[in-house]
Amino acid sequence: MGKNGNKWISNNLKIVLLIASLIAIGAVMREAIRKDIPALYAADKEQCEAINANENAIIEIEGKIENAITKMDGKMETIQVRQSAYHKDSSKQLEEILIAIKANKSP
């Protein structure tokens, strides 16, 4: 073997070493990912739980708002009934006053 044979062996050795290095790096990365997967699942689970808690809080607040609106509607109805009664009473009093005025003007 001459210089060409040594170059061929040298080049092939470089390729073999490169492939071996890539395989080793891949194995290390795979192991690192395997170790990270439970942590990723745990983080994802925490985020899901936080989102669910936020959704539940929003639902609770919506319920409180609906209850407050219902109470306000009830109070508005009560006020309207009272106003209606007051207007009827006022109209009746005005009628009585007009009748009394007409009665006093009569000859």
Whether 66 is covered by a domain: the verdict is: yes
Which among 52, 74, 82 has a CA at the least distance from the CA of 66?
74
- Tell me the C-alpha distance between 70 and 62, whole Å: 12
Average pLDDT per 10 consecutive residues for the chain, totaling 107 residues: 66 87 90 83 87 93 91 87 84 86 74
Number of structural domains (the chain) is 1
What's the rounded Cα separation, in Å, for the pair 58 and 11? 66
Residue 103 lies in a domain: no
Q: In this structure, is residue 28 part of a structural domain?
A: yes
Residue appearing with tokens 């109209």: 91
Whole-angstrom distance, CA of residue 45 vs CA of residue 48: 5
pTM for the full predicted model:
0.45
pLDDT at residue number 62: 93
Question: Does residue 34 sit within a domain?
Answer: yes
Q: Which residues contact 1 (CB under 8 A, 6 or more apart)?
A: 9
- Residue 88 inside a domain? The answer is no
